[in-house]
């Protein structure tokens, strides 16, 4: 099943996000970003009220005609576009001050909506609000209040902290400090924010009947595809998305022996990590045997996470051996800077925070995957990709924390870092699904 993910790459959705940002940021505007955004926020509130009031009209008119009336369509398209501009600005995903009209192609981070939407099915229109609930929830977890029109949910990006910050908000807070220090947006953060904004834009475009294409959480569905930086801890995905309904129905209970086992293993791993820390501090590299032990632990936690989150089909083994359909490859022990080793726990905090936010979204996606797999016998590829991304980031964070590598976790989304080694002969990546390999920057 090598390359399943590539072969079954989802089609690009009707809603996509364009990012022409150069990562350069003005420290002054970043420092005062929230205050500068106040006029935009006020305007956004007014626009949101109008959007909510007009929504029943849009719904009825679309239900009658089978497609949204041109005037209303343009109004909501501009609203979604403006929301993306505003949230990109507030979350530091873009630098310039956005316009107030949500004009197309007017901002470095922009959403591309279908010009002339095709006729939509009446059933889909009739139940749109209900159908949109799962993606709206996921958009909330990703964009923290709804990047593409979140005002409809009655919250702005920064107030979401009260309800538990989404990925966009969490990354924005960390990015604020990074930019003030370096004058530049970290590329991984920017890619993650673009992904979150892209998904939220899809969700709200779907809600406001601008498209009938169901939102797809695949990292390459709406956001621009980009090569992932090489990392010693890389994900491989060879999973068959078909699922056995019985193992899905009882998945959490089936994982119980694993949960008991990983709890015991984690205690030992924590002790081993402390020993490794001292050894790495003294010798400059982790001892091979301890590295191998911790690598097994990280691999096992990925297998188990994949199984519980329905992103992996089969029941995993208990020893963290390579070969699970959703796996991580972990490089051999290497020299590590003693300074980075000494302060590893503190340095890992931002990655842990980001990982926690991504994990929240993945948990929500897993609930969706569970229902989808139970009813259809398949896990949706986009959902699986989001969970796989979360597991990859989590493995990189654990690997960093447990001294498997000194390379910092890379937060740019991407379903697969490396394809598993092909069995008969290597095949070139298909044009529709370029996958990055080791050494591709």
Partner 1 sequence: MLAALTAAGIVAAAHLWQTTVPGDLRLPHLQASREFPARDLHRAESFEAFVRVTFLLSQAALVAVLAVYARRGTAFMRESAAGPIGTGFLLGMLGLALVWLARLPFGLVDLWWARRHDVVHVGYVEWFVDDFFGLGGKFLYLCLALLIVMGLARLVRQAWWIPAAAAFVGLLTLFTFTGPYLVPDLHAPKARELRAEAARLARREGVAGVPLRIEDVHDWTDQPNAYAFGLGPSRRVVLWDTIARFPRREVRVVMAHEYGHIAHHHIAKGIGWFGLVVLPAALLVAIATRRRGGLGEPAAVPLALFVVVILQLATGPLQGVATRRYEAEADWSALRIARDPVAMRALFRHFTARALADPDPPGWFHVLFDDHPTGLQRIAMADAFARAQR
Binding residues (CB under 8 A) for partner 1: these are: 244, 246-247, 249-250, 252-254, 256-257, 260, 303, 313-319, 323-325
Please identify, using beta-carbon distances, which residue of 11 and 323 lies nearer to partner 1.
323
**Distance between CA atoms of 196 and 151, rounded to whole angstroms?**
16
Region of 405 on the Ramachandran plot (φ > 0 left; ψ -120 to 50 alpha; else beta): beta
Please identify, using beta-carbon distances, which residue of 246 and 440 lies nearer to partner 1.
246
Please identify, using beta-carbon distances, which residue of 245 and 338 lies nearer to partner 1.
245
Q: How far is the CB of 329 from partner 1 (least distance, A)?
A: 16
Please identify, using beta-carbon distances, which residue of 202 and 301 lies nearer to partner 1.
301
What is the separation of C-alpha 330 from the centre of its chain, rounded to a whole number of angstroms? 22
**Distance between CA atoms of 328 and 418, rounded to whole angstroms?**
9
Q: How far is the CB of 250 from partner 1 (least distance, A)?
A: 5
Please identify, using beta-carbon distances, which residue of 286 and 325 lies nearer to partner 1.
325
Q: How far is the CB of 103 from partner 1 (least distance, A)?
A: 51
Please identify, using beta-carbon distances, which residue of 252 and 274 lies nearer to partner 1.
252
Distances (CA, A) of 209 to 42, 122, 202: 25, 11, 11
Q: How far is the CB of 252 from partner 1 (least distance, A)?
A: 8
Please identify, using beta-carbon distances, which residue of 26 and 244 lies nearer to partner 1.
244
Distances (CA, A) of 196 to 17, 64, 125, 276, 281: 10, 33, 25, 36, 38
Q: How far is the CB of 421 from partner 1 (least distance, A)?
A: 17
Give CB contacts under 8 A, 24+ apart, made by 303-307.
303/327, 304/255, 304/258, 304/259, 304/262, 305/387, 305/391, 305/394, 306/239, 306/387, 306/388, 306/391, 307/251, 307/254, 307/255, 307/258
Q: How far is the CB of 248 from partner 1 (least distance, A)?
A: 10
Please identify, using beta-carbon distances, which residue of 28 and 371 lies nearer to partner 1.
371
Q: Are 354 and 343 in contact (CB under 8 A)?
A: no
**Distance between CA atoms of 192 and 390, rounded to whole angstroms?**
11
**Distance between CA atoms of 316 and 302, rounded to whole angstroms?**
10
Q: How far is the CB of 240 from partner 1 (least distance, A)?
A: 11
Q: How far is the CB of 195 from partner 1 (least distance, A)?
A: 29
- For residue 314, what is the DSSP state? S
Please identify, using beta-carbon distances, which residue of 254 and 374 lies nearer to partner 1.
254
Q: How far is the CB of 320 from partner 1 (least distance, A)?
A: 11
**Distance between CA atoms of 162 and 195, rounded to whole angstroms?**
23
Indicate the length of the chain as a whole number: 441
Strands annotated E in 73-130: 109-112
Q: Are 200 and 142 in contact (CB under 8 A)?
A: yes
């Amino acid at each position: 099943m090598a390359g399943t993910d590539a072969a079954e790459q989802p089609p690009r959705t009707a809603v996509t996000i364009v990012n022409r940002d150069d990562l350069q940021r003005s420290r002054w505007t970043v420092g005062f970003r929230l205050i500068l955004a106040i006029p935009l926020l006020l305007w956004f509130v007014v626009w949101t009220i109008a959007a909510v009031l007009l929504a029943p009209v849009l719904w009825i008119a679309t239900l009658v005609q089978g497609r949204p009336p041109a005037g209303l369509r343009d109004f909501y398209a501009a609203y979604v576009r403006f929301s993306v501009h505003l949230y990109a600005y507030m979350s530091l995903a873009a630098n310039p001050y956005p316009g107030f009209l949500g004009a197309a192609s007017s901002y470095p981070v922009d959403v591309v909506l279908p010009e002339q939407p095709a006729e939509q099915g009446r059933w889909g229109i009739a139940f749109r609000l209900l159908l949109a609930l799962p993606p709206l929830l996921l958009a909330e977890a990703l964009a923290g209040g709804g990047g593409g029109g979140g005002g409809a949910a009655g919250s702005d990006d920064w107030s979401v902290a009260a309800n538990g910050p989404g990925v966009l908000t969490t990354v924005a807070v960390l990015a604020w400090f990074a930019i003030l220090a370096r004058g530049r947006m970290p590329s991984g953060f920017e890619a993650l924010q673009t992904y979150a904004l892209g998904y939220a834009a899809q969700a709200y475009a779907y809600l406001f009947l601008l498209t009938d294409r169901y939102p797809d959480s695949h990292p390459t569905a709406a956001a621009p595809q980009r090569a992932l930086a090489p990392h010693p801890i890389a994900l491989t995905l060879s999973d068959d998305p078909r699922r056995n309904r019985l193992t899905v129905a009882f998945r959490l209970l089936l994982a119980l022996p694993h949960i008991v086992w990983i709890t015991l293993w984690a205690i030992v791993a924590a002790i081993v990590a402390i020993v490794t820390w001292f050894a790495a501090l003294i010798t400059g590299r982790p001892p091979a045997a301890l590295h191998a032990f911790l690598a097994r632990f990280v691999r096992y936690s990925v297998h188990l996470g994949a199984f519980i989150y329905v992103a992996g089909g089969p029941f995993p083994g208990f020893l963290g051996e390579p070969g699970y359909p959703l796996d991580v490859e972990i490089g051999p022990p290497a020299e590590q800077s003693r300074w980075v080793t000494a302060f590893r726990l503190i340095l890992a905090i931002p990655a842990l925070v980001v990982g926690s936010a991504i994990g929240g979204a993945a948990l929500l996606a897993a609930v969706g995957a569970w229902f989808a797999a139970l009813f259809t016998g398949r896990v949706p590829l986009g959902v699986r990709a989001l969970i796989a991304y979360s597991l990859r980031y989590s493995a990189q964070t654990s690997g960093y924390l447990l001294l498997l590598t000194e390379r910092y976790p890379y937060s740019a989304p991407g379903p697969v870092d490396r394809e598993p080694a092909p069995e008969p002969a290597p095949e070139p990546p298909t044009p529709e699904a370029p996958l990055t390999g080791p050494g591709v920057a």
